[in-house]
């Protein structure tokens, strides 16, 4: 009997060992996953669940969180500071701030708290006000010309010529205009017996004396003086306004004030609305009334977004469309203009729209609007330069998404997540659904080990959706984790998260001895839906077998399901795996155009490989029939 020859058909096997990340677009491949939660690229090229977090402490009311030599949390109206050094005790300051959302920025050992305009010093553990206001409404205030040492003089006489037989140290006011003997045109002189000459005494300062006037001010402060009535009295032409404090005591201040006015040589005293001027020799006095109240204020502007760059705090005001910088190393002074390198700085920008965020990167102070990037650079106010770039800026409500990782700035724009490295922003969220990145209500960013954490809130009420996306900046892969990030603060080696009820540490192993820390998270719930498998097979091939190579890090529960041609999910296997054990999950799929796999469970899981066996179908003869 002669049989016809039949060609043997061989199976082909492909092993997938390099897995990508989350891809929510139509281009999602079988090496990526279209939806999932709590997976990470920490064991790349394998795909593993994220590390468990460690619970640090319960906290139900959190308005802000910042790390500087320790973790500062704004809990309602209280400040709680937990130092990094476990030998130091936690500090709680009751009723230190107003209740409400805070903007925090660090400079030196201080953490600035806005809009309260306060500073918490991590060294002294004390809170102080950035600004200061003193009012002379209920006290007597005296203004008197003085020299550089703060000394106020009294003269024994005045006239057009000095006396013939003066004594050593005698003071005399030489008058230039007899009709205006007390004007600034006259000259105060002192006689020296050693030299036998009269020398001029320059009174180019003003001493302000009142009870408690200097308590909240310090030397080198710039204060705004109002209500002195000096111009009304004719003593100084422009005493009111911004003045530099050169010396400060509890009950006296010395400020710079150029001589001027027809009644310069005298003392001006204000008690309520009553104003009295007395000449230096006491022979002439004048009285009048002023409705103003004497006030001294060290002003701090109202700012919406802040950042620290080159030992200055920078901020921007939407109300004024102005960018401010504080005095060098001194966040209490914002209006110090002395013509030196340490001066404050302010510039009005010409772009339209509101500011949406501020950050520091590559040595630049950066201020964003939705379609503009303003970049400030320079070493001192005299050479500060502002350059503007029309580009995709920070989206409204996404100011806190700004985060610097490995010399690159990441943020959420109206067009998606952007990366800026000093040139032009580039989009890094092409793998994400763009519709789910638009119209956010709020966005918050954090960083840990080269990963960018992005917390997004869209909508409100029952329609509100919250996500925590994680971008591996080294590998360019996106992941998604369960939401635990309504507040975030990074220390460089740790990321602290707040889930609305408690504060967590993202990496549990780095917090073993952290101030009586709580227990590690009890298992991680995970889920993964693969991309379509089988779309790249030609018509002559079909999937005859799939094998998943899995590894359980701890005791884990795992469910494997399959969906054929986007149909309903069918459970393939449910199993419990012991820790540190590799195992295979094989199955024979039925004939279909494509399929998707779903891994779901709780514990620690790593997907090591996916082996796909393809069989050929020719003339209706299956490969299994001839092998």
pLDDT in tens, 297-330: 999 999 999 999 999 999 999 999 999 999 999 9
Q: How confident is the model at residue 6 (pLDDT cuts 50, 70, 90)?
A: low
pLDDT at 212 over 50: yes
497-542, pLDDT tens digit by residue?
A: 999 999 999 988 887 655 445 578 888 999 999 998 876 666 667 7
Assess if residue 3 is contained within a domain: no
Task: Count Cα atoms within 13 angstroms, Cβ side, for 447.
Answer: 19
Nearest CA to 384 among 424, 355, 343?
343
Same domain, 339 and 484: yes
pLDDT tens-digit readout, 285-304: 999 888 889 999 999 999 99
Same domain, 139 and 120: no
Mean per-residue pLDDT, 156-179: 87
Q: Which two tokens stand for residue 175?
A: 């008058």
Strands 110-114 and 118-121: antiparallel
- Verify that 70 and 45 share a domain, yes or no: no
CA angle 436, 442, 446 (to 5 degrees): 95
- The reported pLDDT for the residue numbered 625 is 42
State which of 81, 112, 130 marks the end of a domain.
Answer: 130
Q: Where does residue 154 rank: exposed (0-12), middle (13-18), buried (19+ CB within 10 A)?
A: exposed
| Unique residue bearing structure tokens 């966040």 | 331
25, β-bridge pairs: none
Are 223 and 254 part of one and the same domain? Answer: yes
- Cα–Cα separations (whole angstroms), residue 309 to 193, 327, 361, 375, 435: 56, 12, 9, 12, 35
Q: Which domain holds residue 276?
A: 134-297
In a domain, 519, yes or no: no
Mean pLDDT of 355-368: 95
Percent of the chain's residues with pLDDT above 70 = 95
Q: Which of 102, 130, 158 is the last residue of a domain?
A: 130
- Residue 2 pLDDT: 56
Verify that 262 and 125 share a domain, yes or no. Answer: no
In a domain, 624, yes or no: no
Here the CATH number for the domain that contains residue 588 is 2.60.120.260
Measure the CA–CA gap between 618 and 412, rounded to whole angstroms. Answer: 52
Residue 473 has pLDDT above 60, yes or no: yes
> Does the residue 1 lie in any domain?
no
501: number of Cβ within 10 Å: 13
99 located within any domain: yes
Instruction: Tell whether the model's pLDDT for residue 624 goes beyond 70.
Output: no
Distances in whole angstroms, Cα of residue 264 to Cα of each of 127, 160, 232, 252, 404: 41, 17, 12, 20, 56
Whether 75 and 160 map to the same domain: the answer is no
Tokens matching residue 58: 């319960």
Burial call 139-153: b when 16+ CB within 10 Å, e when fewer: bebbbbbbbeebebb
Q: Residues 70, 157: one domain?
A: no
The verdict on 111 and 188 lying in the same domain is: no
Share of the chain above pLDDT 90, in %: 65
Q: 226-237: per-residue pLDDT in tens?
A: 998 888 888 888
Predicted structure pTM score: 0.88
Q: How many CB atoms lie within 10 A of CB 530?
A: 25
Contact 250, 276 (CB under 8 A): no
Q: Is 169 exposed, middle or buried (0-12, 13-18, 19+ CB in 10 A)?
A: exposed
Instruction: Give the pLDDT score at 134.
Output: 93
What's the whole-number mean pLDDT along residues 327-354? 94
- CATH number of residue 376's parent domain: 2.130.10.10
Residue 389: how many other CB atoms lie within 10 Å: 15
**Segment 579-583 mean pLDDT:** 79
The pLDDT of residue 438 is above 70: yes
| pLDDT in the model for residue 577 | 84
Residue 411 has pLDDT above 60, yes or no: yes
518 assigned to some structural domain? no
- Please report whether residue 398 resides in a domain: yes
What pLDDT shows up at residue 5?
Answer: 54
- Decide if pLDDT at 384 tops 70: yes
Confidence of residue 620 (pLDDT cuts 50, 70, 90): very low
Who has greater pLDDT, 120 or 30?
120
Which string of b and e fits 206-245 if b means at least 16 CB within 10 Å?
bbbbbeebbebbeebbbbebebbbbeebbbbeebbeebbb
The last residue of a domain, from among 115, 130, 145: 130
More confident position, 304 or 581: 304
Instruction: Please give the tally of structural domains in the chain.
Output: 4
Q: Is the pLDDT of residue 86 over 90?
A: no
The yes-or-no verdict on residue 622 having pLDDT over 70 is: no
- Is 113 found in the same domain as 46? no
**Which pLDDT belongs to residue 539?**
62
Lowest mean pLDDT among 11-25, 113-127, 613-627: 613-627
Tell whether the model's pLDDT for residue 281 goes beyond 90: no
Q: Is the same domain home to 195 and 153?
A: yes
Q: What angle do CA 155, 158, 162 make, to 5 degrees?
A: 105
For the chain, give the mean pLDDT: 89
Report the chain's C-alpha Rg in angstroms: 36
Does residue 169 lie within any of the structural domains? yes
* Whether 546 and 566 share a structural domain: yes
Please say if the pLDDT value at position 152 is more than 60.
yes
Nearest to 299 by CA among 248, 257, 338, 333: 333
Q: How far is CA 65 from CA 98, 301, 451, 502, 512, in A?
A: 15, 23, 19, 12, 21
Specify whether 474 is located in the same domain as 350. Answer: yes
For residues 354 and 369, is the Cβ–Cβ distance under 8 A? Answer: yes
Residue 57: what pLDDT?
Answer: 86
Residue 627 pLDDT > 50:
no
């Amino acid at each position: 009997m002669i049989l016809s020859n039949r060609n043997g058909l061989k199976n082909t096997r492909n092993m997938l060992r390099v897995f990508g990340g989350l891809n929510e677009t139509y281009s999602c491949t079988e090496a990526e996953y279209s939806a999932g939660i709590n997976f990470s690229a920490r064991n790349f090229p394998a795909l593993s669940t994220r590390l468990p977090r460690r619970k640090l402490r319960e906290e139900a009311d959190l308005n802000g969180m910042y790390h500087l030599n320790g973790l500062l949390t704004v809990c309602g109206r209280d400040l709680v500071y937990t130092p990094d050094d476990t030998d130091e005790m936690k500090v709680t300051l009751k009723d230190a701030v107003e209740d409400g959302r805070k903007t925090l920025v660090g400079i030196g050992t201080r953490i600035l708290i806005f809009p309260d305009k306060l500073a918490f010093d991590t060294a002294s553990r004390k809170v102080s006000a950035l600004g200061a206001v003193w009012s002379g409404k209920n006290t007597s205030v005296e203004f008197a010309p003085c020299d550089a040492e703060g000394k106020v003089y009294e003269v024994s006489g005045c006239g057009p010529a000095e006396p013939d037989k003066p004594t050593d140290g005698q003071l005399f006011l030489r008058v230039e205009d007899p009709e205006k003997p007390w004007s600034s045109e006259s000259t105060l002189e002192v006689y020296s017996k050693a030299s036998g000459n009269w020398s001029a005494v320059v009174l180019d300062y003003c001493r302000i004396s009142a009870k408690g006037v200097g308590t909240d001010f310090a030397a080198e402060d710039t204060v705004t003086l109002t209500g002195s009535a000096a111009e009304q009295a004719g003593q100084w032409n422009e005493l009111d306004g911004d003045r530099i404090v050169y010396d400060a005591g509890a009950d006296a201040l010395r400020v710079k004030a150029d001589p001027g006015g027809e009644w310069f040589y005298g003392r001006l005293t204000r008690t309520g609305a009553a104003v009295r001027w007395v000449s230096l020799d006491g022979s002439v006095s004048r009285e009048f009334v002023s409705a103003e109240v004497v006030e001294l204020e060290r002003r701090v502007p109202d700012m919406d977004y802040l950042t620290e760059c080159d030992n200055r705090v920078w901020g921007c005001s939407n109300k004024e469309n102005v960018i401010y910088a504080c005095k060098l190393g001194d966040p209490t002074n914002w209006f110090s203009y002395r013509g030196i390198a340490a001066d404050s700085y302010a510039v009005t920008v010409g772009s339209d729209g509101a500011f949406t965020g501020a950050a520091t990167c590559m040595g630049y102070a950066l201020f964003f609007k939705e379609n503009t990037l303003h970049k400030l650079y320079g070493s001192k106010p005299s050479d500060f330069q502002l350059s503007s770039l029309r580009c995709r800026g920070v989206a409204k409500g996404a100011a806190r998404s700004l985060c610097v990782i490995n010399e690159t700035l990441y943020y959420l724009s109206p067009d998606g997540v952007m990366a800026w490295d000093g040139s032009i922003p580039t989009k890094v969220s092409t793998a994400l659904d763009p519709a789910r990145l638009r119209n956010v209500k709020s966005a918050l960013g954090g960083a840990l080990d080269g990963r960018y954490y992005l917390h997004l809130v869209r909508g409100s009420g029952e329609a509100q959706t919250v996500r925590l996306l994680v971008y591996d900046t080294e590998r360019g892969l996106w992941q998604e984790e369960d939401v635990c990030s309504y507040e975030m603060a990074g220390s460089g080696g740790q990321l602290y998260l707040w889930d609305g009820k408690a504060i967590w540490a993202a990496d549990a192993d780095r917090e073993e001895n952290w101030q009586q820390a709580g227990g590690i998270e009890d298992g991680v719930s995970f889920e993964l839906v693969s991309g379509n498998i089988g779309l790249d097979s030609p018509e002559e091939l079909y999937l005859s077998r799939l094998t998943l190579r899995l590894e359980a890090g701890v005791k884990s529960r795992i469910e494997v399901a399959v969906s054929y041609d986007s149909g309903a999910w069918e459970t393939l296997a449910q199993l419990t795996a012991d820790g540190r054990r590799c195992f295979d999950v094989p199955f024979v799929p039925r004939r279909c155009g494509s399929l998707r796999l779903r891994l779901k469970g709780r514990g620690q899981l790593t997907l090591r490989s996916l082996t796909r066996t393809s069989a050929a179908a020719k003339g209706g003869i299956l490969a299994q029939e001839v092998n």
